[in-house]
Amino acid sequence: MSETEQEKEMMLDFAVWEDGLNNEETLKELVVAAKDAALLHGVLMRTKEEPNASEIVNYAPFTLLPSPVPRACFDQAKAVQRDFNLLVDTVSQSTEFLEQVLTSVVKVDDFTARLFKIYKQVLQEGIEQPIVLGLNRSDYMFECGEDGSTSLKQIEINTIAASFGGLASKTPAVHRHVLRVFGKPEEASKILPNNPSKDLAEGIAKSWQLYGSNRAAVLFLVEDEQRNILDQRYVEAELWDRNIRVIRRQFVYVSDRGSLDKDRRLFIDGQEIAVIYYRSGYEPQNYTKQNWEARLLMEQSKAVKCPNIATQLVGAKKVQQELARPGVLEKFLPNNPEAVSRIRSTFTGLYTLAIGEEGDSTVAMAISDPDRFVLKPQREGGGNNIYGEDIRKVLLKIKGSQEREAYILMDKIQPKPVRNCLLRAGTPVRVSECISELGMYGVYVRHGKKMVMNECGGHLLRTKSIEHADGGVAAGVAVLDNPYLI
């Protein structure tokens, strides 16, 4: 299909959705049906007012209609995920590379420095556990070129606490129902099946099995406020269905009640832990002094960590930027030029802010035209990036300081906005210009030097109004969605 034909098909698909978005009566009917379907199918979150109680829940924010996604981009993201799994795992094993890349960052970023200190200490003491479990999510946008063509460009790869796999498993049924109510059963049948909760659980279950103790449990290491608990419960339920015991605890509880035996096996209240699945620990506010001590204890243990501290460090934006340099991917995937090509094709422009001539050039470029870029700190989770005029303000303040090495600069991806309706509890319904972000889950398990599982574990589409620069579903900006392939 030529690019012109692709554009025509995209316009036709947009026109189909416009029938509902432009008709007030149809819109009202669809909104009622959508909200009830979300409740019926379990697309649920706790409320802001009561984040730790399930007496009152409401539907998680989601789009009224599935958003159009170029089929070629979706297939590309799915095909490259196993390559990214291999890359993340290989980089996590390179102490030399991580030290080289992060040395400048740890001098100016206390959070990364603390993670790196634990990493070095555990390395020095000796890694007890040869089983490595990775559950990641690689996030992309669809760059719209001046000629109307669309290309897949990576935003980041999340190596810790990649969320919404549970709720993403339930949203396809909601949009199928909405499209049927809309009188579009054929389009409803094209909504892709998706079950990340099952795929993520299979990775955890495989690691639990390799650990070798039927009496041992899986620990979900969770935040103090658990508004998104039901997303996690879907993964948890998959494990209980396999007769694998799951316990949920916070850092402080592990600090108070956790211990290691002489073989470094981790016990909490006498319960042996086979796998630690981190759904917390990805940002500075997750940690107190006591919590850092608990993180060290868990890293020192024989339990399988998801992720281990090295894999979490691979998710740093500075690592992402350095991997994009010419020749670096080839060092980590030396016998796999096809994988290198697939990965590199998803990269957008990534630039260092290191002290020196190259970093000075990056600073000057960003200050002169800040709207072309995104300034990114070494953080997981939404809401941390800096855009537009704020980039100029920040860089003018720190351009002569080593503090700038806490950031990288990335080209701002320019997707084509589409119209949709974002449904949030308690918010008036309105049609908005929106952009979408596609995530692909990766699931891998390595035992020693042998990769025993390497899979793409389903997808996640999140959509937000173009008036919001940054932030995900948990941050209250984006909403859950499904891809409608065009």
Return the active site residues: 137, 156, 158, 163, 317, 376, 380-381, 462
Rounded distance between C-alpha atoms, residue 123 and residue 210, angstroms: 22
Rounded distance between C-alpha atoms, residue 177 and residue 181, angstroms: 6
Between 229-241 and 196-211, two packed helices, what is the crossing angle to 10 degrees? 50
Helix H or strand E segment including 432:
strand 431-447
Torsion-angle region of residue 455: left (phi > 0), alpha (psi -120 to 50) or beta?
beta
Whole-angstrom CA distances from 60 to 52, 288, 314, 466, 470 are 15, 30, 30, 20, 19
Rounded distance between C-alpha atoms, residue 280 and residue 297, angstroms: 15
Q: Do the beta carbons of residue 273 and residue 306 sit within 8 Å?
A: no
Rounded distance between C-alpha atoms, residue 206 and residue 250, angstroms: 24
Q: Do the beta carbons of residue 62 and residue 43 sit within 8 Å?
A: yes
Q: Is 269 helix (H, G, I), strand (E, B) or coil?
A: coil
Whole-angstrom CA distances from 418 to 21, 225, 321, 433 are 11, 34, 30, 5
| CA 337, 338, 339, 342 torsion-angle sign | positive
Q: What is the DSSP code (8-state) at residue 218?
A: E
Query: Rounded to an integer, what is the distance from CA 263 to the centroid of its chain?
Result: 34
| CA 47, 50, 52, 54 torsion-angle sign | negative
